Amino acid sequence: MSGAGQPLRIGNASGFYGDRFSAVAEMLEGGELDVLTGDYLAELTMLILGRDRLKDPGAGYARTFLRQLEDTLGTALERGVRIVTNAGGLNPAGLAEAVRTLGERLGLRPAVAHVEGDDLLPRAAELGLGGPLTANAYLGAWGIAACLEAGADIVVTGRVTDAALVAGPAAAHFGWARDDWDALAGAVVAGHVIECGTQATGGNYAFFTEIPDLAHPGFPLAEVHADGSSVITKHPGTGGAVTVGTVTAQLLYEIGGARYAGPDVTARFDTVRLEEEGKDRVRISGVRGEPPPPTVKVGCATLGGYRNEVEFVLTGLDIEAKAELVRAQLAHLDAEWTLARTDHPDAPGEEEASAVLRAVLRGNDPRAIGRPPGRAAVELALASYPGFHVTAPPKDASPYGVFEAAFVPAAEVPHVAVLPDGGRVEIAPPAETRKLTEVQEAKPPPPLPPGPVRRAPLGLVAGARSGDKGGSANVGVWARGEDAWRWLAHTLTTERFRELLPETADLPVTRHALPNLRALNFVVDGLLGAGVAYQARFDPQAKALGEWLRSRHVDIPEALL
């Protein structure tokens, strides 16, 4: 690839393993495109693929991607669109070979390359990672770039950072150097925006009622320029919308502080500037980059044990007393109890009059927490609270996973580009690194002058998006105007955040300010226990945590309402 005056148009067709199957075809056929990316991996996905690999050593990759190529490989080759995907999961070489086989069966000859080195499982003990089921380092963009420079039509990777799927093609196309920090950081920001597919075009958006044709939103694409700036847009005529709001929401998704660290560059999210350039076009500029940290993140997934649950439905009066009776009757079970007060007084429907009491059991013996506890619950049917019933009959226990993030020196992580002709290129670790430190929060803007206030939901004046990072959750909150930002920056302190979300009251909460985005990001450590697969709470991925926050009532200046 060689750089030119025109931007590189990089689209996305998958935000997770299970995303819209038709998206690959839609993106290839819907408009001009140079590169198509697909993100299939998440912390939970690695655990699923690890279990697949236990049953079949030849498995371990996202089979959906192969099925999508059945009808689209010819189109991609004909249009000269190169495909870069992390669907290789735990077996990128296996998926690359499967793509070649598919090409032969279709009478096509795609040049297929892959990136490997992220799988550290054989060296887990040596690196101090314990005995996990999977242990994969988050590789960067340069292996992808080497594959594309060697003429690959399709590049398959294992665990790379999500943003590397965009930064790699951009680096190859524009001929960036390893220390072009600002350009690389700009591409990382663009990659972060489009990596989750339609979340950038109105999906899961706080103000979703403002988004047109959300029944079938189009997938996003980034027009990346030689300096790393970009324009986020989508194919003409597709549903959804690209606005400063939708891009802001996605920028806040699953981040920590102002320094967004990766294996290639640390992007300064506090330097990001957004500007609406036209309908469905948002320009990202001003992003500054710094050398990456000296260590690389490694995601370790482990089978933590077995899990089972029983749900009791409590209806009508005396909900708390009914729940207490069940707990006393099943006190011999080592269970985690949660009472969800979904009931309403004087309800017109029985379901609206009911609450749910959930008992979760964990252990290493699936027989001990399998059907016996469920049977013990059912045996109470005629001997417990009035209206007794459960949501499901007794069931077997199921395995659950534990995710932990570790960090190893970058020099300890191999990074190899396996080219279309079988040649191998070793990617050196970064020559310059910088220890990661927090950015000190800048002085907030002046507060609004005193005035009348009204008790109302926070979400009337602020958007939010939340997500998971291992056992931690993040909640990004942004204001839609300068006055609202002045109020938000002074009102939503860490202490107020804990008050509004009592589940976080006893946990470490860190606030990070991003004034350019008129946003605050809160990181709550430990809310998700041992990660998504552990299922520590009703919303195990914290996807709705931001919406809970927006629903809480606070005193809002009437001028903002």
**Model confidence pLDDT, tens digit, residues 72-102:** 999 999 999 999 999 999 999 999 999 999 9
Q: Is 90 in contact with 135 (CB distance < 8 Å)?
A: no
Alpha-helical runs (H) found in 72-180 = 73-79, 92-105, 142-149, 164-174
pLDDT of amino acid 4: 52
CB 133 within 8 A of CB 301: yes
- Residue 130, pLDDT score: 92
Distance CA 190, CA 193 (A): 5
pLDDT of residue 529: 86
Residues in the chain with pLDDT values less than 50: 1-3
What whole-number distance in Å separates Cα of residue 71 and Cα of residue 84?
A: 17
Q: Please, are residues 306 and 367 in contact by the beta-carbon 8 Å criterion?
A: no
pLDDT by residue (tens digit) across 276-293? Answer: 999 999 999 999 999 999
Written as one string, the DSSP assignment of 209-234 is GGSTTTTSBPPEEEEE-TTS-EEEEE
For tokens 């009791």, name the residue: 312
pLDDT score for 3: 47
Q: What is the pLDDT of residue 531?
A: 80
CB count in 10 Å sphere of residue 553? 13
For residue 118, which amino acid is it?
Answer: D
Domains and CATH numbers, the chain: 8-299+405-426 (no CATH), 308-402 (3.30.70), 453-560 (no CATH)
Q: Which amino acid is at 194?
A: I
Q: What is the pTM of this model?
A: 0.93
